[in-house]
Amino acid sequence: MVHLSNGKTNHYDVIVVGAGVIGAALAYELVQQGVKVALLEKNQPASGASGAAGGMLAAHSEHFAHQELYQLALYSQSLYSKLATDLLEQTGIDIGLRTEGFLLPMTAVPTHTDSQVDRKEWWSPSHLAQVEPYIYAPSGMIYNPDEPQLIPALLNQALVQAAIQYHVDFYPETEVYRLLHSQKKDHITGVITNQGEIYAEQVVLTTGLCTQQLLATEQYHLPFVPVKGELIEVSTPSQYLGHTIYGKGIYMIPKSDHRIWIGATSKPERTDTTVDISAIAQLLSGAEQFLPAVGSATFERCWSGIRPGTPDELPYLGQIQPLAGLWTASGHYRNGMLLAAGTAKWIAEALINNHTGHIPDCFSPERALRKSKSLSTKSLSTIEGVSIWN
């Protein structure tokens, strides 16, 4: 068996490329089932879209365009309570899971519903005044008790650390240049990286928008839609907000130490990670509609991330059929945190049993994959040099 200079073996059952929350969750799930896993990350965990997320697990409040995606969201959300407990026991990391629920403005209630799981209730202005005295909502709000939220970077960190404790080989600062093939060119056998060649029976791309770039080296095109999002953090002298407010185009998420995260803008085809002054003004204006006192809060920081969207707003989950041994779990758009746990379960089962029958066909990458001699210069320029792995 050949070993790399860092002492790690260079042959695995599965290579997971990308250690954002999707890749880290998958590596963690696989290794617990006895799979020998290498987890590769171009930068550091949570350095891309995962680290920029707000952390809402909004399975009931999000407006899903597809019923299958809604069902995946419900399933994935149901896994987080146990996952948070397990990660705390294994790593000592508290991922900041909060379960007080969400408040939705009357104009932001989603149309989809499931009577077996839907427990929304209307809170009158007088009741709101008792529970959330700083909120302004003359028509009341809808309370959804079933929506949790967490700290994305801590979830990502805990998943990677737990995976390592279960003996996943983690390769940070490891950039994948190309895929390796069998002699007959009919099977993917590994990856070429800045650390050398690493081999595996299966390779999974959980690289968000960079999945497009890696597939381009194989002359395949899988379309993505980058969507920039900007957030700000403020602090208040006392607790101004105890529940997440989930509105149209604006949300406010209470965190520890009287901090509130306010997001998020949505700017398609923007891949820069700067924060526009106009975005800060827009977010504060939106927040003041429901929490007027936020105008007196202290500004702490701002940041942005690039959401890995797809043309039909469905993630790509499954095999890249023309390239045997190659899989992807990418394109989760604005719901990477929410969908990570369920995605990891689905993809792990598919890899171990070598079938995808449990994954609805609408998620298959085959719906959009096409042969292409090369990726257009415009498409490459939108992702070159940007840390956007999911």
Of the pLDDT bands very low, low, confident and very high (cuts 50, 70, 90), residue 336 is: very high
Q: Who has greater pLDDT, 19 or 113?
A: 19
Do 231 and 303 touch, CB atoms closer than 8 A? yes
Instruction: Please tell me the distance from the alpha carbon of residue 7 to that of residue 352, in angstroms, as a whole number.
Output: 26
Give the model's pLDDT for residue 10: 84
Instruction: Please tell me the distance from the alpha carbon of residue 297 to that of residue 240, in angstroms, as a whole number.
Output: 9
pLDDT tens column, 56-109: 999 999 999 899 999 999 999 999 999 999 999 999 999 999 999 999 998 766
Query: pLDDT at residue 384 above 60?
Result: no
Superfamily of domain 102-145+226-309: D-Amino Acid Oxidase, subunit A, domain 2 (3.30.9.10)
Query: pLDDT at residue 111 above 70?
Result: no
| Level-2 CATH architecture, domain 11-52+154-223+311-381 | 3-Layer(bba) Sandwich (3.50)
Give the model's pLDDT for residue 390: 34
Q: What is the DSSP string of 155-193?
A: HHHHHHHHHHHTTPEEETT--EEEEEE-TTSSSEEEEEE
Do 54 and 231 touch, CB atoms closer than 8 A? yes
pTM of the model as a whole = 0.92
Average pLDDT over residues 157-177: 98
Calculate ∠ Cα 337-191-378, nearest 5°.
70
Q: Write b or e for each residue in 35-58: b if 16 or more Cβ atoms lie within 10 A of its Cβ, otherwise e.
A: bbbbbbbbbebbbbbbbbbbbbbb
Q: Which two tokens stand for residue 348?
A: 């792990």
- Domain-by-domain residue ranges, the chain? 11-52+154-223+311-381, 102-145+226-309
Average pLDDT, the chain: 92
Largest distance between two CA atoms of the chain: 72
Instruction: Please tell me the distance from the alpha carbon of residue 383 to that of residue 223, in angstroms, as a whole number.
Output: 12
Do 208 and 333 touch, CB atoms closer than 8 A? no
Tell me what percent of the residues of the chain surpass a pLDDT of 70: 91
Average pLDDT over residues 362-388: 61
Give the model's pLDDT for residue 375: 44
pLDDT tens column, 24-62: 999 999 999 999 999 999 999 999 999 999 999 999 999
Nearest to 48 by CA among 310, 309, 305, 328: 305
Give the model's pLDDT for residue 186: 83
Calculate ∠ Cα 44-365-214, nearest 5°.
40
